[in-house]
Amino acid sequence: MPTVSYSIAAVAAVLVSMVSVFGGVIAYDPLRHIAEARTPADVVNWWPLLVYGPWLVASLSILRAAVHQRRAAHSWIVVLLFSLTAMLLCIAQAPRTFTDTAAAALPTVASLACFHQLVRLITLTRPPRRPTRGRRVPRSAVRPGHAATQPPGVHLPRQSSAGKRVL
């Protein structure tokens, strides 16, 4: 069973990579066109890296956190912010029809959705760690004059006011 689970996660990782690269290739040209009028010609081809660089670094941070079963809220914010930036810049370059706007937004949305599913697969293939429990102090180790705390579900007999035990 673990082999099948890891195999599915590996296939998903390859597919997510393909969708993300293909989405980046599609979005590359609209992002480059935005920079043409405002950026020197020798830098224009590298300009889309300003959008996809932080996205990639934050994505790797999220993957690392998922493997180590940690949270990555800040990295998710970066991924969402730069996904939204890429999507809005691509939409700004698209013709003003519903189909063209949807086609401009689709690569970014598809990459984000696939990446989210990959992170979910990773977190499901690694069972959660059991929380470490504090060590219980034996009753004999409790200092005189201090109340002993009992573990949940353990009931000691109470004493009545006459000094007899009541169950």
* Pairwise CA distance, residues 36 & 122, whole Å: 39
Q: Which of 111, 118, 112 is nearest to 10 (CA)?
A: 118
- pTM attached to this predicted model: 0.70
pLDDT the model gives residue 95: 94
Q: What is the CA radius of gyration of the chain?
A: 28
CA distances from 126 to 6, 22, 151 (A): 9, 29, 31
* Pairwise CA distance, residues 131 & 76, whole Å: 25
Please list, residue by residue across 59-89, b when 16 or more beta carbons sit within 10 angstroms of its beta carbon and e when fewer do. Answer: bebbbebbeeeeebeebbebbeebbebbbeb
Phi, psi of 40 (to 5 degrees): -60, 150
pLDDT 10s per residue in the chain (167 long)? 788 888 888 899 999 999 999 999 999 999 999 889 888 988 899 989 999 999 999 999 999 999 999 999 999 999 999 999 999 999 999 999 999 999 999 999 999 999 999 999 888 766 666 665 655 555 555 555 555 555 555 555 555 555 555 55
